Structure 1
Amino acid sequence: MSAQHTNPVFVSDESYTERSFSTLNNPQGNSANKDVFTIDLKETNKAKEAYDNYDPFMHRKVEHPTTNSETLFHLLKGCLGTGILAMPKAFSNSGYLLGSIGTVFIGVICTYCIHLLIKSEYELCKRRKIPSLTYPATAEAAFSDGPRCLRKFASVSVHVVNTFLLIYQMGTCCVYVVFIGANIQSVANIHIKEMGIEIYMLIFLIPLILINWIKNLKRLAPFSTAANAITLVSFGIILYYVITDKPSFDNKELVGKAENIPLFFGTVLFALEAIGVIMPLENEMKSPKSFGSTVGVLNVGMTTIIFLYLGMGLLGYLTYGHAVEGTITLNLPKEDVLAQIVKISLALAIFVTYGLQCYVAVDITWNEYLGPKLEKNSRQVLWEYVTRTVLVLITFVLAVLVPALDLFISLFGAFCLSALGIAIPAAIETCTYWYSRSGASFYIMLIKNLALIIFGLCGLVAGTYTSIRDIIKEFS
């Protein structure tokens, strides 16, 4: 979606600036004052009145709008995946005190940055008189309204966001492949001749390709519902094992080694961040104003998620200490039948979820880039299936090359979500409200967002470096 517009742009407060990117010219031709235009006052007042009267929420036409409770359930479902099972490993890198404080802190930062993104989307939609925007379109619109030096990056920002989203979704699929292989291996090796994890990944390769060939997600809906039920029951059983094994603070670190903190950061980001599903969920709501309110869907959902992750991470680490695996399911008693059922059930649930996660990667790769270029090609359908197959093969090859669940999670969390979940939303808010700059509130916002951008970039660099370093160390 293009961010270009012909109407004057207004900010949400009384201190607004009138300007146009495409139709207004500087009558004096003074290059030093390119943002100063002569505008008819009557037309300006009409434009401002139209801006004030337009509410994007009232113009959204959704075929099947979701209620607040349904949206909350979808949010919880989107966040409760393999990430929560890696939280005990994250705590083993941070220590139980720093891990507890860090999980809450990162959760609050993530939630706050989602609020920034949703608020900016609303403002940009209001200016353009359109009902909703996607994440990439929001970035493009924000940079178009931002400082002059950043406007040239507006179209590029779409591809940057899409690239991070694509890498994150592909990374999630890699994690799923490793998770499936590791859990099936853990059970199968007890009953049959021991085989490497790569063999079990290979067994699931054809089924993963076939599930990714399904274009209509409604066909996966019944399986997805069953997978969600299995996942929730399995989490309850895992917590039962953890608690009955008597968690203890003995021989547990209060604060972990400094060199391992970036691994903790990346894992928690991967586990907590749901930036890929936030805007679609908000755009499909029956009452979207309830999403970002004080006691709205976002705050209630994220608070619940933070404490669930905190509980799983803390109890898992206090129970298994530094012996905890990349997924806590591998620490369950190997000979116990119930534990084996949990591992197989979760592996099958994640197998179904793989199709949903890879759908986003297909949507970006095919619908945004390859599909339009092959629109007139007689073999377009064939090329789409080739694309879907290649995406699965990429995740499979990466999983086979680096079958380290915890390091994969930390790597993709640090690399993608530091940018998507923290730095980019802060940059979007800054650009969105750039032309309302007046008074102390603007400079407070600017300093705060610069701090968030620096924090996100530092997490990206440190987390990515540490994860790659440990991957090389483990598999060299």
Structure 2
Amino acid sequence: MPQAFYNAGLVMGTISTFVIGAICTYCLHILVQAQYELCKRKHVPVLTYPESMKEALEQGPRFLRKFAGISPAIVDSFMISYQLGICCVYIVFVATNVKQVADFYWVDLDVRVWMLILLGPLILINFVRNLKLLAPFSQLANIITFVGIGITMYYVFTDLPPVSSRDYVGEPRNYVLFVGTTLFALEAVGVIIALENNMQTPASFGGYFGVLNKGMTVIVFLYAFVGFFGYVKYGEKSLGSVTLNIPNDEPLAHSVNIIFAIAIFISYALQCYVPVEIIWNTYMKQKLENSNKKLLIEYLMRTGVVLLTFILALAIPRLGLFISLFGALCLSTLGITFPAIIDICVWWPDGLGKYNYILVKDIMLIIFGSLGFLIGTATSIIEIITSF
């Protein structure tokens, strides 16, 4: 987030973080509400995101109905790409933080070597097949993350430069990188929908004081806080993670590297759960129903997913640009454009509200998401090519 604020400026970054956070939260709400409505119409307890897209398009405007058949595969492709992108970033993040500590206390190894060392443990943690079994580990990751943020903020606020020393508004051409990074940081549509589908009381997910609003409020304020003061502290030297900016020669700073490396390592399995579930349940499980090697093949598939993220992480170890690319490429569509399309289709044609305000609002979201996809992806790819 400090690097994102460097691209946007202090004032523009702060305002935009809250705006993007509100848009992301709102789009998740309309997606969940649309899923509830479709479930009632179909008399089924749960619909996945791809199933919801297909059912919605079948009931929407006539010119969209022809895309209903291929829509699940399109949503799955974006979902898998995004979640695998997160996993790639996580591998780079963990390896980079471990390297900083190892360079000081042990031996200076290339970050790619640390990625290779991490490969075995990542495969093993991805063998956990039940989302509920990952919940305690995720809670542990949350706790130690807050400890790590507290220590990081200690370094940020030590000898903090004046706010006036930083740009209030960044260069316009860099703003799309801010949008991509912030979308990546704030949006987690795949995991959120998976969590909502696995809750004991799904009704507590939505609402003004539901799980989603509470969680997103904390996250948006936290990210704006870290981004603002992290940029004030480090300015143009802000790296892809603020943990990489803190001193690399102090034990307390090294503890932050280890804390976040552990937290993100644990979170890898949660993020990997979504693509694994899609690939296995949608495209493989039914074909292997009568096979006595079904469990072996599932574990091989899980191993293959980890190997794929490992290879991609080796190919582009540019943490900040990687984050911005996947944020723009996938989340502008999954988190904004697709929920708006589903919302239009579910309430088409008689439930769009007075003066068709739902239609107008959703079209604006589709335009915003599409621009974020096109401009953000192009800019991020250009920046990645230039960095090499």
Q: Which of the five TM-score ranges fits, normalised by the shorter chain?
A: over 0.9
Deviation (angstroms), 1:174: 0.2
Within 5 Å, give how 1:20-99 maps onto structure 2.
87-99=1-13
Residue 180 of structure 1 aligns with an amino acid whose one-letter code is: V
Of 274, 289, 295, 1:375 maps to: 289
Residue 11 of structure 2 aligns with an amino acid whose one-letter code is: L
Give the distance between the partners of 1:277 and 1:283, measured in 2 at CA: 10
Give the distance between the partners of 1:439 and 1:408, measured in 2 at CA: 40
Measured on the aligned residues, the alpha-carbon RMSD in Å equals 1.9
Give the distance between the partners of 1:255 and 1:131, measured in 2 at CA: 47
- When the two structures are superposed, what TM-score results if normalisation uses the length of structure 2? 0.94
Aligned residue pairs total 388
Relative contact order higher in (CA < 8 Å, ≥ 6 apart): 2
SS of 1:424's partner is helix
**Structure exhibiting the larger radius of gyration computed from Cα positions:** 1
Give the distance between the partners of 1:450 and 1:438, measured in 2 at CA: 12
Whether the aligned pair in 2 keeps the contact of 1:170 and 1:361 (CA below 8 Å) is yes
Deviation (angstroms), 1:349: 2.0
Deviation (angstroms), 1:439: 7.1
Give the distance between the partners of 1:135 and 1:295, measured in 2 at CA: 23
Give the distance between the partners of 2:203 and 2:135, measured in 1 at CA: 27
Residue 112 of structure 1 aligns with an amino acid whose one-letter code is: Y
Q: Does 1:423 align with 2:337?
A: yes
Give the distance between the partners of 2:272 and 2:23, measured in 1 at CA: 27
1:455 alignment partner in structure 2: 368
Give the distance between the partners of 1:217 and 1:285, measured in 2 at CA: 11
Q: Which has the higher helix share?
A: 2
Whether the aligned pair in 1 keeps the contact of 2:191 and 2:274 (CA below 8 Å) is no
Runs of 5+ in structure 1 lacking a partner?
1-86
Residue 40 of structure 2 aligns with an amino acid whose one-letter code is: K
2:76 alignment partner in structure 1: 162
1:278 alignment partner in structure 2: 192
1:127 alignment partner in structure 2: 41
SS of 1:155's partner is coil
1:342 alignment partner in structure 2: 256
Q: Does 1:137 align with 2:51?
A: yes
Within 5 Å, give how 1:176-191 maps onto structure 2.
176-191=90-105
Residue 464 of structure 1 aligns with an amino acid whose one-letter code is: T
Residue 330 of structure 1 aligns with an amino acid whose one-letter code is: L
Alpha-carbon distance change, 381 to 277 in structure 1, aligned in 2, over 3 angstroms? closer
Deviation (angstroms), 1:171: 0.5
Give the distance between the partners of 1:438 and 1:292, measured in 2 at CA: 21
Q: Does 1:326 align with 2:240?
A: yes
SS of 2:208's partner is coil
Within 5 Å, give how 1:379-458 maps onto structure 2.
379-436=293-350, 440-442=354-356, 444-458=357-371
Whether the aligned pair in 1 keeps the contact of 2:14 and 2:228 (CA below 8 Å) is yes
Residue 293 of structure 1 aligns with an amino acid whose one-letter code is: G
Alpha-carbon distance change, 314 to 461 in structure 1, aligned in 2, over 3 angstroms? same
Give the distance between the partners of 1:146 and 1:219, measured in 2 at CA: 38
Alpha-carbon distance change, 152 to 332 in structure 1, aligned in 2, over 3 angstroms? same
1:465 alignment partner in structure 2: 378
Deviation (angstroms), 1:221: 4.8
Q: Is the deviation greater in 311-320 or in 281-290?
A: 281-290
SS of 2:69's partner is helix
Give the distance between the partners of 1:220 and 1:174, measured in 2 at CA: 19
Measured against aligned partners, the alpha-carbon deviations of 1:146-189 in whole angstroms (never above 9, x if no partner) come to 11222222231111111111111100100110001110111111
Alpha-carbon distance change, 117 to 257 in structure 1, aligned in 2, over 3 angstroms? same
- When the two structures are superposed, what TM-score results if normalisation uses the length of structure 1? 0.77
Measured against aligned partners, the alpha-carbon deviations of 1:104-126 in whole angstroms (never above 9, x if no partner) come to 11111111111211221122222
Give the distance between the partners of 1:450 and 1:144, measured in 2 at CA: 19
Deviation (angstroms), 1:220: 4.5
1:113 alignment partner in structure 2: 27
SS of 1:133's partner is coil
Deviation (angstroms), 1:396: 0.8
Q: Is the deviation greater in 335-344 or in 278-287?
A: 278-287
Of 114, 119, 141, 1:227 maps to: 141
Runs of 5+ in structure 2 lacking a partner?
none
1:246 alignment partner in structure 2: 160
Measured against aligned partners, the alpha-carbon deviations of 1:380-428 in whole angstroms (never above 9, x if no partner) come to 3332222111111111111111111111111111111100110001000
Whether the aligned pair in 2 keeps the contact of 1:247 and 1:315 (CA below 8 Å) is no
